[in-house]
Chains A and B, each alone.
Chain A
């Protein structure tokens, strides 16, 4: 990689700028009660070196990308990632799937219950990511209040159980359907709104749901939440805590498989193609005779449905719900999963959900920086790789140049 002196100079200036920028917040730390000031000069060095390196890397990446874009102009073809290529090659497809499912099935027996528990959480985020992917990735409607549907699912199980002693299996579909209903309710008024207003209204909706849960003590027991929610039963079988965890894990595996299947079928259906059209160009989509109202509402409802299901499972898994679990940051995490994975890409969302939930679990030292990283991921992905880690492959039809007999005859 060639680096000219000029570029290094520029990066030095950038690093100087960041030293100035971060000076008060990174260096000075005051304690207003003890009235002491701590000067953390070592942070200057970290900021300087860090911003210098990042600026060089960013420049190198942009140069490479510009070159690659120039080369690809002739070919003009989106290439599938290695994983997708493998999944589509018949010789590899089934062995790979069998390997993955074997690993998934054996996981709780290979590792401890604690590991299985973490994996269950990751699986929950996969389903949430796939659900939001319908709304944001496929239909292109930026929903910042997705966590509201998750909360609705969780609270519907908690409240139904508290007031009517309804079991997990009865509450599961009810939670999903209730969330879908709320998705419709939110969908109706926002139909006319453009992208950015839609984002704000959904954000407001998410906050309203959380604030209502927090303040309406008579209904939802306020900030202290609802505890002692029963775990799911298995035909009345009594289970130890370990077994219940493992059972939960298999339940989630089942739900993930169901979600992947349904979402995949949806994406390639008439409805799915209508969503894609909506995402690409709303006006053109209407001009093609697509009923915008209907497909927007179905996107909201179907996206919300999965969040409701996972909400019920969340309530059953932790046996406790309170409004603090459903803040805007949760929505942001799910959005980061969709964006990192590649909007509209199922394989991508699965991979990024695993990365984003498992990495902070295993790198405990880094878990403090988790939200910082999520923010950085959102920005960096938009600038450097808007298509995501594993881009969705567009269904394309290749034109094979081969003159047919009829065409030859016409020529003569």
Chain B
């Protein structure tokens, strides 16, 4: 039973991380209908920025609390800046181009960012500093759930709650929902759609950066290529939940995290990534609208 609970909790942890990345995919898709292939790379850049900042600060001897805060803020700021810039360079000029064009441009951006980090930093796996301490009160249950799992679960829950409130009640959140429903109509009622799109990219990137920081300190190492697999998995989660739907992304991520955790725990860990890919292919084939998504009918 302990093993089951352990797998369940580690699945939840995985799922929460996927959710932080999947939200970026789903929000961008909801607003401009584009699969942002470079989103996984934004997450990787978030992890790298926090790695660089945290290690630098720890070498210069700052206290742990300061390091955590500064690294988190820096990761969010720079990831958002990258997300914003990627949108301005690679997607905005192609807004009225045929559907294939922004997609190819997004793939190009993803390859570009990966190799930029590879060339500017290194291709080795880097040891990520342990930002989350082992809490003393977790001692009795440490064999089932680690301290970093707990921190990840709590942080994700708080972030989700904040995001829901943001989307529901703030001005820009309302503008986002309006733009997602009908972009032309949003323009007509005086919403600055360009600004809403930028805000979406910034918000999604910041969430991915938090995810990057959490997972990197949970796993303990990073590399320039971590964005690719994480991006695909988060995308799978977003599609599973119904792309474009925010609660769907969270639900899909948790389902994917749990599936992976149980599959690797009870079946085999060799095919961990194959499970995710197969799940993705199966969903797209049998229920492309996902668990909570609306069916997309096109009228001519």
Chain A positions within 8 Å of B, measured between CB atoms, are 17, 20-22, 24-26, 28-30, 32-33, 35-37, 43, 140, 142, 144, 189-190, 192-193, 195-197, 199-201, 203-205, 207-208, 211-212, 215, 283, 328-329, 332, 335-336, 339, 368-369, 371-372, 374-380, 382-383, 386
Contacts and interface: CB of A to CB of B under 8 A. Distances in A.
A25 B121 contact: yes
Contacts of A197: 239, 284, 288
B35 A196 contact: yes
Nearest to A374: B111
B78 interface: yes
Given A332-B111, A372-B115, A207 B104 contact: no
A193 B284 contact: yes
B232 to A, nearest CB: 7
A65 B288 CA distance: 39
Interface of B: 34-35, 45, 48-49, 51-53, 55-56, 59-60, 74, 78, 81-82, 85, 89-90, 93-94, 97, 99-105, 107-121, 126-129, 228, 232, 235, 239, 270-271, 273-274, 277-278, 280-281, 284-285, 288, 298, 300
Nearest to A332: B111
A195 B74 CA distance: 36
Given A339-B104, A383-B93, A21 B81 contact: yes
13 contacts: A21-B85, A24-B78, A25-B116, A25-B121, A28-B52, A43-B120, A197-B284, A200-B35, A200-B235, A204-B277, A204-B278, A205-B277, A382-B104
Chain B contact residues: over half helix, strand or loop, or mixed?
helix
Contact of A329 (B48, B111, B112): B111
A201 B89 contact: no
B70 to A, nearest CB: 12
B112 A25 contact: no
B112 A375 contact: yes
Contact of B228 (A215, A328, A369): A328
Contact of A382 (B102, B111, B129): B102
A204 B232 contact: yes
B107 A332 contact: yes
A222 B78 CA distance: 39
A140 B108 CA distance: 18
A25 B285 contact: no
Given A199-B35, A368-B119, A379 B49 contact: no
Given A195-B100, A196-B34, A383-B94, A207 B273 contact: yes
A320 B99 CA distance: 39
